[in-house]
Amino acid sequence: MRAGKRAPDFVLFLSILMLLGMGLVMVFSSSAYYAGDPEGPFHDPFYFFKKQFLWALLGLSAMFVMMNFEYTRLKKHVGLLLLIAFLLLILVLIPGIGASYLGARRWLNLGPLSFQPSEFVKLCIIIFTAHGLAAKRNQIHLFKKGLLPFITIGGIAAALILAQPDLGTASTLMGTIVVMCFVAGARGTQLGGLCSVGLVLVLTAIWLEPYRRRRFLAFLDPEADPTGAGWHIINSLMSLGSGGLMGTGLGQGRHSKFLFLPERHTDFIFAAIGEELGFIGASLVIMLFILLLWRGFKVAITCPDTFGSILAAGIVSGIVLQAIVNIGVVTSSLPITGITLPFVSFGGTSLVFTLMGMGILLNISKYTSPR
């Protein structure tokens, strides 16, 4: 394929930068009081901001590299990427190699840094699935030859992620694969059956694990255990509600400042946005993700080849599905699961690989036909 003659999608690029900028501001605003506490472990109000800023620079560098790396060349490396992805998923589960935090074994320690393999794995699985679906586009209506291989590979990856345990990431990964299969032309009845089976498996995973079951019951009735399993939901809703239309102002969130809101700079940062920036700020974040979805699928629709089209759809749907789950949890529309808000929440590995995926999407946009 010749080098693309068009510039990358500017609206898509701008929406990425706006989400990233808002994330940096809110990471600092929501964490400064906690990080600067003289009796706390950090003694620096800029502690989380500085780490996130450095990860953002690394992520932007990765995005610009991938934006100028011809996406069709990724097909040559699918096998190697998949091998590395599964190797990392196995390594992180081995005691002494994988680092454990709050009962979850999701990280590999690399000296002073930690690396979350599942974020890399999501991107690898999306590239593998796009390549395979494009190669089998004439057999996609056949379940055994068309869908089953990709559902199986994705399912194995999801099972290893679930073992960490990380139900939220496992579920969004499988949801992304289903969207990619739909874009590739799979039959609606087959996908409907897969979604039904997936829902049953998710509910089973929730019910068989005591802490997930407590969270699910708290989702149904948070007031039944207000200082236990219902604490996150109650304080998240109180933070959102106290922001009103305009919010309390940056750094003025009482629930964030006085540490009532758990995970205020990570999983529940959207609640901090709602409190400090109000309904307007929260709506702006949602609108930016809608804009990202629109431009991403516009790239997928106008891409001249099947691989690029499915890959673009997979990248953007994976990010938006994660955002939907995170916002659904924060607004008590979904049971609690530990999943971050893309571009916005504190977290280095997630930010770097999300921006890397955006670089691939921007590269694909160079080859789209104007409409």
- Residue 22 included in any domain: yes
- Residue 146 included in any domain: yes
What is the greatest pairwise CA distance in the chain? Answer: 63
Q: Identify the helix (H) or strand (E) that includes residue 108.
A: strand 104-110
- Residue 2 included in any domain: no
- Residue 59 included in any domain: yes
Indicate the pLDDT class of residue 221, thresholds 50, 70 and 90.
confident
pLDDT per residue over 86-136, tens digit each? 999 998 888 877 777 666 777 787 766 678 889 999 999 999 999 999 988
- Please state, in angstroms and rounded to a whole number, the distance separating the CA atoms of residues 332 and 329: 5
112 is in which domain, residue-wise? 10-365
Length of the chain: 371
Strand order of the β-sheet with 104-110 is 98-101, 104-110, 113-115
User: Residue 20: what residue type?
Assistant: L
User: Residue 293: what residue type?
Assistant: L
- Residue 109 included in any domain: yes
- Provide the CB-side half-sphere exposure for 338 (13 A, CA): 19
Stated pTM of the model: 0.93
- Please state, in angstroms and rounded to a whole number, the distance separating the CA atoms of residues 74 and 57: 23
pLDDT per residue over 299-355, tens digit each? 999 998 999 999 999 999 999 999 999 999 999 999 888 889 999 999 888 999 999
- Residue 159 included in any domain: yes
- Residue 83 included in any domain: yes
- Residue 253 included in any domain: yes
Contacts with 161 (C-beta within 8 Å, 6 or more apart), sequence order:
89, 118, 121, 169, 170, 173
For residue 4, the model assigns a pLDDT of 53
The 3-state DSSP class for residue 242 equals helix
Domain count, the chain: 1
Please say if the pLDDT value at position 239 is more than 70: yes
Pure H helices in the chain: 10-35, 47-67, 78-91, 117-135, 148-162, 167-184, 188-208, 210-220, 231-242, 254-257, 269-302, 306-330, 348-365
For residue 2, the model assigns a pLDDT of 46
> ∠364-368-371 over CA atoms, to 5°?
145
